Amino acid sequence: MQLKTVALTPTHWKEYELLDTGGFEKLERFGDYVISRPEPQAIWDKRLSPDEWRKLAHAHFAKEKGNPEKGSWEILKKMPEQWTIGYENPDGLRMTLNLALTSFKHIGLFPEQAVNWDYITDTLKDFPPGKAKVLNLFAYTGAASVAAKAAGADVTHLDAVKQVVTWSKFNMEASGQKDIRWVVDDALKYVRREVRRGSQYQGIILDPPAYGRGPNGEKWILEDNINELLKLCAQLLDPNVHFLLVNMYSLSFSSMIAANLVQSNFSGIENAAHGELYLEDKFEKKLPLGIFYRFRSNP
């Protein structure tokens, strides 16, 4: 099997910019507001000075000692607690996404994932009308779910955190969509049940974290659990009309690991590619932000 290795970055963002990176931080514009926050892979120097960063930023995330993921936001200029930005692509996808400053440095959106939203809409436009059932696992605030729904799919959206599922509903409604099926559950438990039921999906999207907890405290460790999850997903995926999209962010994983995992669990793989997702700042520094593996059946 010929496998294409690529590095991809979004090309259709109008309301997002990566302004500068370095010093283990990134400076980003989301719509009308600029924020600075930690970024463990930005190990090089910033191009702009610290004073320029503070002058541009509306908010800065200050880490707690000993916990790089948790901290608090310092508001530097007047800005709302919540706001929205829009995303459009040439396949007709139009989304309005709700953003907010959270105590875990996230704001409800991973802008590099626009590459995957484009892939989903481009893939589904070639599927038979009304055919595609799509399962989105570890679905977070649901931009991929909204993209699949906007492309005509019957979407099941699963996440272990009730609050982000509620956030996803806001994104669906703001984007003019409806009737996504919401599931708050542990991904492994749910997929095991779906296999026992004999369920089948034409599209499966996975964006698992390195570590996580299910709604009842179930432990998720990427290295320990991803192989079993992919084995189960292989039993759920329609053998004739299908796509699979796996996205992972783990500093210890390369896209070759993703390729080995998928290729050892799925047969009949066509139109496959794997590689890195990245964002490029205004000074042409490329910030890697995860790996992916994807394939789809021929139209």
Residue ranges covered by each domain of the chain = 4-9+106-296
Percent of the chain scoring above 70 in pLDDT: 98
| CA proximity to 282, closest of 51, 52, 53, 47 | 47
- Sheet of 4-8, strands arranged across: 4-8, 273-280, 286-296, 243-248, 203-206, 133-137, 154-159, 181-184
286, two tokens: 């490329």
pLDDT, tens digit, for every residue of 105-158? 899 999 999 999 999 999 999 998 778 999 999 999 999 999 999 999 999 999
CA 7 to CA 1: how far, in whole Å? 20
pLDDT, tens digit, for every residue of 230-264? 999 999 999 999 999 999 987 678 889 999 999 99
The stretch 93-98 carries a mean pLDDT of 98
Q: Please tell me the predicted confidence (pLDDT) of residue 68.
A: 61
The stretch 65-87 carries a mean pLDDT of 88
Q: Quick one: angle between helices 222-236 and 255-265, nearest 10?
A: 40
CA 192, chain centre distance (Å): 23
The stretch 9-38 carries a mean pLDDT of 97
**Does position 210 have pLDDT exceeding 90, yes or no?**
no
pLDDT, tens digit, for every residue of 166-202? 999 999 999 999 999 999 999 999 999 999 999 999 9
Q: What CATH homologous superfamily does 4-9+106-296 map to?
A: Vaccinia Virus protein VP39 (3.40.50.150)
pLDDT tier at 270 (50, 70, 90 boundaries)?
very high
177, two tokens: 């969509």
| CA proximity to 143, closest of 98, 210, 83 | 98
